[in-house]
Chain A
């Protein structure tokens, strides 16, 4: 149980395009999902907290107009990187907080490369 999926697993795009990443909790409901960014050999950096049916809460320094988050259901949150640039290249990971117990389970991550 407690499986979180992400799609796509990797994406290469041209500078200026937008990329959407989906995060799904497959076998549990999650009122709260989180989006992280991870650089090589570094820890996870929280970007935003996504609550079902409400606006996301962004961490300081994260541009909300750059990283659009939508959490339309208890099992799906999406992150859209708008007008992507090479500096947005990174490993993006989502996590979902289970209603029962409150543990956080992570997706497998999405590797984004912006050329």
Chain B
């Protein structure tokens, strides 16, 4: 089945610096890669996603890059702010044929801390 690896598990940056979180996936049939931000005690919030027919997508301070050949994708946050502090999860949509249809396979999460 799909295996999503996420690194690093924790990341601490100073306000204004950039943060990069990387994920790799194993199922070459995966074609959808969302990123979620989860604050303490809350549900995950979709912040950006990318499909396999696109190499890069940007939304203000957030960008995601996808390398299908290497089967890895990354989240880039520029000009980080303290309110960016949260746990970030990458995910990959399971390939066709899975009993779970559109279910996502999640990475283990990255705890990002942005210090003022």
Contact = CB atoms under 8 A, between A and B. Distances in A.
Does B associate with A? yes
Interface of A: 2, 4, 6, 32, 34, 42-44, 46, 49, 51, 57, 59, 93, 95, 97, 102-109, 111
B106 A44 contact: yes
Contact of A43 (B49, B89, B103): B89
A49 B100 CA distance: 6
Contacts of A102: 32, 102
A52 B102 CA distance: 14
Main secondary structure of the interface of A (DSSP, over half): strand
Given A43-B89, A43-B108, A44-B89, A108 B99 contact: no
A93 B36 CA distance: 13
Nearest to B36: A106
Contact of B101 (A2, A49, A95, A103): A49
